[in-house]
Chains A and B, each alone.
Chain A
Amino acid sequence: MKCGVVLFPGSNCDHDVYHVLKHVLEQDVVYLWHEETTLKGCDFIVLPGGWSYGDYLRGGAMAALSPVMQSVREHAAKGGPVLGICNGFQVLTEARLLPGALRRNRGLKFECRDTYLRVERNDLDFTSCYRQGQVLRLPIAHGEGNYEHFPGELDRLEANRQIVFRYVAPSGEVDDAWNFNGSARAIAGIVNEAGNVLGLMPHPERCAEEVLGNMDGLGLFQGLVQPALRLVGAAR
């Protein structure tokens, strides 16, 4: 599968995602410069983390307006898979490809730490290598990851099963003490209604290799690029 990693000035997790796709999963990967107007025939688009354009106004606000995002929009409209990680998630919300907004962490401080995520649904390609309800350990590193939306809209997300990952305690229970950025409904990651655009704040690419002591993030990429590995009998 041909993968494209979008590169905005200020992206800084681009190499990390590229490394996992290229050297861990041995996929065909290219970088897509923010001024590109095509996706070079990529099937799978990743918006990596970082501080695109400095993120001076709001995370992702300026990147959402860059030329390449027009192509990403069209790709998504055609049902092509798009994954936004951290700043990439912010870009997707600012571009209105995903609902809601990511605001400053509850504690108003940057938080770098491991979090525990519960897989709320594994009937998406993205999560097809995880078990329903499986608890993953994924690191976060952000200052603006506090997911916000209006109560009514949050209810809609629940109803549409658009909430894919929630921050939980290691036991798997939702627990405010483990929701470090204060996200509404402990939301760590959501998907669009069509199910092909996923955004999450934690960093799967940072825990996809044995040497780093944690492989929990690898499945998220495998689900897309290695369909053979999808769990059989997953509730789909």
Chain B
Amino acid sequence: MTPPSPVSPKTAPPAAAEPVVTEQLAREHGLTGEEFARLLGFLGRNPTLTELGITSALWSEHCSYKSSKVYLREFPTSGPRVLQGPGENAGVVDIGHGWVAVFKMESHNHPSFIEPFQGAATGVGGILRDIFTMGARPIACMDSLSFGELDAPRMRSLIDGVVRGIGTYGNCMGIPTVGGETRFHAGYNQNILVNAFALGVARRERIFKAKASGPGNPILYAGSRTGRDGIHGASMASESFDAESQKKKPTVQVGDPFVEKILLEACLEAMRSTAIVAIQDMGAAGLTSSIFEMAARGQIGFVLDLDKVPLREPGLSAYEMMLSESQERMVLVVKRGREEEIARVYRKWGLEVATVGELRSGSRAEIRHRGKVAAEMPIAPLTDDAPVYERPVAMPADLARRQQAPEVPEVQNPTATLEALLATPELASKEWIWRQYDHTVRTNTVIGPGGDAAVLRLKGTPSGLAMTSDVNPVYCGLDPRRGGMQAVAEAVRNLACVGAEPVGVTDCLNFGNPENPEILWQFREAVRGISEACRAFEVPVISGNVSLYNETEGRSIPPTPTVAMVGVIDNLGEMPVAHFRKAGDRIVLLGKDRAEFGGSVYLRLLHGIEQGMPPAVDLAAEARLARLLRQAIAGSAVHTAHDLSEGGLALALAESCIGGFGGGNEGAAGLGARIEVDLTPLDLFSETQGRALVAVAPARLERLMRLAEENGVPALEVGEVGGTDLVIAADGATLSASVARLHEIWSTALPKALGF
């Protein structure tokens, strides 16, 4: 296209029928007085409505990270394997054999609460685009879900909708959902969390970036047409001047996984050519964030002709086009003269593609619509130099009280206690959820949902990739710093249980309103905890996402810094599983109990007490345990490895017995265990960290104990696999139940509670 002649900002006319932008309208767009003044300052005039919309989008918390930036700087983000840290669409780490892993996690909390199916589905769609935008083929997803109490209003249908949404999108794309977490807590009754993780792989040298360069290079638009999807500001701002708009409700974004699937294939095919300079998906704030961010990264200007943008319905205003969040759209910068070469690929796949603008030297953005200039602005002040705040922080006033050591009721009947815990949706099997996810497509899944970490083989290599997602919001609420550390430590532990060495972390930091100093304090402490732990384990944070303002009527969610960690297994030998596999195996407990109950499921789910200090996290001890597990597993000496987390030793043993139940395997009838420990019945439910269960053939026991000693990890042989019952002889009382019964309770609890 021929670039329209530049016009001086002073003369930029507001498009017809648009309201004059006032400070009031700016405030309705979420700009503070100072921010509006700042906008007027660098614009040197009153903004057009489109310019206001663009500014409100780019300066939103979501795009600008203005409240969180200062703290995120604390994360360790570099390391020998890191090829791309935070700042791109996703992070990139080297996983050997010339391959890299590209991964990221993102939240879609609010949309999922409004319309659970589409909200969750488009959340998955968004994170997948972040991955293939980098030139990687997505091979796995995980989902971390936080729901309210089942009896809270709409909760059952929210759960059903979210799970169907995640399943439908991933299943249709043919990308396995191999893991995740699900929790239920009153703190999420009015703000559920849907965090979606995706991982892709690519050849080391085939990574693509979203850094625009080369004045005169055309900007291409590919994928779905633009409609009025997800424009919230739009209707609000329009009503005042457009009778038509009264009818236009802010419309829910609807995902089309089929279009995303062909968009994925088309993008990967187009990327084989050398014509692509930069490529970026359209996520939140659609065209605006994608094009401005690309230009900002390349410190270059651009001109955009909105009349060229494919529309789903006629009559969209420039404002609406710039803010539309229609799904399954990409923006590409292509070498001048090679548009057709790229366009042909998209058309082959049945996708629309259009040249909508071009890069220009300088540092300004010009957006034209219907022969008028709808926006003409400098790019840096809206992006790199967007407002950053160091807001006040304050330790929650009630924290000291909540951290006081609670009265811990004794366990009368350990069997009944275990059964009661297994019957809670919190600890029951999540099979009802992950059955609805295709977790075997792409034929890489060695270990799918249900274990400690998922394991994928890396085709064409002897290696495997492991991944897990962890956080305990109750711990975080009682001590966000410890909670942050614990999330990282548990992730490392889960990876170690499949013999994987951690290579990178992505996070999704879900918190309340950062303008509340107590919430921001939680955020800062959690980030410090995560940073501290990542430094200790030498695992870099390579990407992530912040979701703030998860608050309703002044009530914030529990601090929920979800940590997703990826690990590498150099040689996929015989893999251990989390459940018992062979009668006669010796069971060894690694790590020492310290009778810790603060924030435990025992207190919370059975006694309604959410109080005390969460379990201490000894990072050095965790590192030793992880090394031991990796060494033991590498020698393929281990049949079973399962870490202790919520519910402590009793829960871990129960899970290891139940896991093999059913199917045609040896555990079909239920493979029990006889355990003898020098612990009180109560201690069986202590949540002391840094512990794991391992089961090995008798002949391998000695080697395991020697490895434990060498690594300085306390190890105790506690019993043997066999029989059809789980029997734990503790001080003064014995826990005894048939595996069949435990399985029945554990596997039916969630569907029963949901009533589906």
Contacts and interface: CB of A to CB of B under 8 A. Distances in A.
* A–B direct contact (CB < 8 Å): yes
Interface of A: 9-10, 12-13, 15-16, 19-20, 49-51, 53-56, 109-114, 116, 135, 137, 139, 141, 143, 170, 203, 205-206, 208-209, 211-213
12 contacts: A9-B258, A12-B174, A16-B441, A51-B171, A54-B256, A110-B168, A110-B171, A113-B435, A114-B663, A170-B663, A211-B457, A212-B446
B368 interface: no
Contacts of A111: 435-436
A9 B349 contact: yes
Contacts of B439: 112
B712 to A, nearest CB: 33
Interface string B258-281: 110110010000000000000000
Contact of B262 (A10, A56, A135, A143): A10
B680 interface: no
Nearest to B449: A112
Given A141-B441, A212-B445, A212-B446, A9 B262 contact: yes
A220 to B, nearest CB: 14
A25 to B, nearest CB: 14
Interface string B57-84: 0000000000000000000000000000
B117 to A, nearest CB: 13
B443 interface: yes
B437 A112 contact: yes
B595 to A, nearest CB: 39
Contacts of B440: 112, 139, 141, 203, 206
Given A54-B172, A211-B572, A212-B457, A116 B664 contact: yes
B354 interface: no
B401 interface: no
Interface of B: 167-168, 171-174, 256-259, 261-262, 265, 349-350, 434-443, 445-446, 457, 459, 572, 663-664, 668
A213 B443 contact: no
Contact of B441 (A13, A109, A135, A208): A13
A213 B451 CA distance: 15
Contacts of B668: 170
B258 A54 contact: yes
Nearest to A141: B438
A116 to B, nearest CB: 7
A143 B164 CA distance: 11
Given A54-B172, A116-B664, 16 more contacts: A9-B261, A9-B349, A16-B443, A20-B443, A51-B174, A51-B257, A51-B261, A56-B258, A110-B168, A114-B663, A139-B440, A141-B440, A170-B664, A170-B668, A206-B440, A209-B443
A19 B262 contact: no
Which one of A56, A137, A212 has the highest number of Cβ atoms from chain B below 10 Å of its Cβ?
Answer: A212
B473 to A, nearest CB: 28
Contacts of B441: 12-13, 16, 49, 141, 206
A110 B664 contact: no
Contact of B443 (A50, A113, A114, A206): A206
A208 B174 CA distance: 18
B84 to A, nearest CB: 25
B556 to A, nearest CB: 34
- Chief secondary structure at chain A's binding surface: mixed
A12 B173 contact: yes
A19 B437 contact: no
Nearest 3 Cβ contacts at the A-B interface? A12-B174, A54-B258, A170-B664
Contacts of B445: 212
Nearest to A143: B171
Contacts of A143: 171
Nearest to B442: A16
Nearest to A217: B443
Given A12-B174, A212-B445, A109 B457 contact: no
A112 B172 contact: no
Contacts of B434: 112
A213 to B, nearest CB: 7
A112 B443 contact: no
Contact of B435 (A55, A112, A116, A209): A112
B663 A15 contact: no
A13 B446 contact: no
A200 to B, nearest CB: 15
Contacts of A213: 446
A139 B265 CA distance: 25
B172 A9 contact: no
Nearest to A14: B174
Contact of B172 (A19, A51, A137, A206): A51
Contacts of B457: 211-212
B261 A110 contact: no
A88 B341 CA distance: 32
A211 B349 CA distance: 34
Nearest to B163: A109
A110 B160 CA distance: 12
Contact of A110 (B174, B256, B257, B438): B438
A50 B259 CA distance: 13
Contacts of A9: 258, 261-262, 265, 349-350
Nearest to B460: A23
A116 B349 CA distance: 37
Contacts of A110: 167-168, 171, 435-438
A112 B350 contact: no
Contacts of B265: 9
A235 B751 CA distance: 45
